[in-house]
Amino acid sequence: MRARLSITIAAVMAAMLAVSVPVFGHHAFGAEFDPNRPILLKGKVVRIEWVNPHAWIHVEVTNANGTKEVWMVEGGSPNSLFRRGVTKDSLKIGAEVVVDGYQARDYTLKRANGRNITYPDGKKLFLASSAPDAEDKGK
């Protein structure tokens, strides 16, 4: 029985890790962003709006011809980040970041979802949700 149980657990873990795709938020992402306009942005953070329902990170990108444009990148609700100890200093203005996502359906706007936002070395900006000790709960 133990062996079968281990196999079940292993299979479940494998399945869980395999489905690591970004998630959605309080609104219809498909209506806001265009699947046919994928983007990759490399630039520096020039402004952060720590606001609900979605935080927006403004990234200044330098184009091939030397011109600059600022993109707004949609993130999630900042409340959880605040509770995890993230402060204004956790992501500094001027930090270089890489963003992949999809542009807004109104393509005249320089706006996109932050499907992945990382530093240039691929490190995520903040640590993912840390699991609180389950034993503390419900006693």
Partner 1 sequence: MRTRLMSLIALAATLALTLHISAQAPKPAAKPYTAPRTPDGHPDLQGTYDLATLTPVERPAGAKAALTNEEAAKLERNVAAQVEARGRDIAGERTAPPKGGDGSTGAAGGVGGYNNFWLDPGSSYTVVNGEKRTSLVIDPPDGRVPQMTAVARQRALARFVRPTSDATESRDVGLEPAGSYDNPEQRPLGERCLLGFGSTSGPPVLPTYFYNNLHQIVQTKDYVMILTEMVHDARIIRMNSQHLPKTIRKWMGDSIGHWEGETLVVETTNFTDKTRFRSASEDLRVIERFTRVAPNALLYRFTIDDPATWDRPWTAEYTWPLTNDHIYEYACHESNYALENILRGARRREADAAKKEE
Residues 98-117 that bind partner 1 (CB under 8 A): 98, 100-102, 104-109, 111, 113-117
Of residues 23-42, those binding partner 1 (CB under 8 A): 23-40
> Please, what sign has the CA dihedral across residues 3, 5, 10, 11?
positive
Kindly state the smallest distance separating residue 116's Cβ from partner 1, in Å: 6
Residue 46 burial (C-beta neighbours within 10 Å; 0-12, 13-18, 19+): middle
Of residues 46-105, those binding partner 1 (CB under 8 A): 49, 51-56, 72, 74-83, 98, 100-102, 104-105
3 state SS of 84:
coil
Complex with partner 1: residue 68 or 129, whichever CB lies closer: 129
Alpha carbon 96 to its chain's center: 15
Complex with partner 1: residue 32 or 60, whichever CB lies closer: 32
